Amino acid sequence: MNSIIAGNVLRFLGLVIIQGLVFKNIGVGWEEFPYLHIIVFPIFIILLPLRTPRALIILLGFAIGITVDFFYNSLGVHASAAVFTAFLRPFLLRIMEPRGGYNVNYSPTAARMGLGWFLRYASIMLFLHLFFYFSVEAFTFVYIVDILLKTIVSFVVSMIFIIIYQLLFNPLD
């Protein structure tokens, strides 16, 4: 159990550092194409162990979101999107539950659940996270075209990085 907690603490810190110091600066200076935002920290919420209580998932979502907000100086926008993602996670897992059910002792990784299942699950979670994030950032649906463009472009690029992350740290056997 302690190794699970230690692994998730290291994942939390690593993702916050990578998000805040590396991915925040990608796209800076591209004022002509402001649609690219690489956001990978939701993988922390996506990969939490299945037996994690809902309240703790939401609290951890807030913690990682507000920590990323400190780097972005964005006053809770990332935190609200992370809490939204954490809130939706149990519902999506219930909808996507395999016939035999889940082994609640593990995290929903590609190695444990299969690459196809993981890609569907992570794609839905990331897309909803990004759409909510850009909607809150714009704070109006007057800019729905910009919201959708940012969501789609950022989704494609962020999903590539999430797949790379998944393959590096939880390789398929």
- Residue 30: predicted pLDDT: 63
- Residue 31: predicted pLDDT: 64
- Residue 111: predicted pLDDT: 87
Do residues 49 and 5 make contact, with C-beta atoms less than 8 angstroms apart?
no
Given a cut of 60, whether residue 173 has pLDDT beyond it is no
Do residues 15 and 40 make contact, with C-beta atoms less than 8 angstroms apart?
yes
Instruction: Say what the pTM is.
Output: 0.92
CA distances in angstroms from 48 to 8, 45, 58, listed in the order given: 7, 5, 11
- Residue 32: predicted pLDDT: 65
Do residues 164 and 136 make contact, with C-beta atoms less than 8 angstroms apart?
no
> Mean pLDDT across the stretch 121-125?
97
Given a cut of 70, whether residue 159 has pLDDT beyond it is yes
Given a cut of 80, whether residue 170 has pLDDT beyond it is no
Residues in CB range of 70: below 8 A, 6 or more apart: 20
- Residue 120: predicted pLDDT: 96
- Residue 21: predicted pLDDT: 92
Given a cut of 70, whether residue 52 has pLDDT beyond it is yes
Give CA–CA dist 25/29, Å, rounded. Answer: 9
> Mean pLDDT across the stretch 69-80?
94
Within 13 Å of residue 40, how many CA atoms lie on the same side as its CB? 26
Given a cut of 90, whether residue 4 has pLDDT beyond it is no
- Residue 167: predicted pLDDT: 87
Do residues 139 and 80 make contact, with C-beta atoms less than 8 angstroms apart?
no
Average pLDDT, the chain: 91
Given a cut of 90, whether residue 93 has pLDDT beyond it is yes
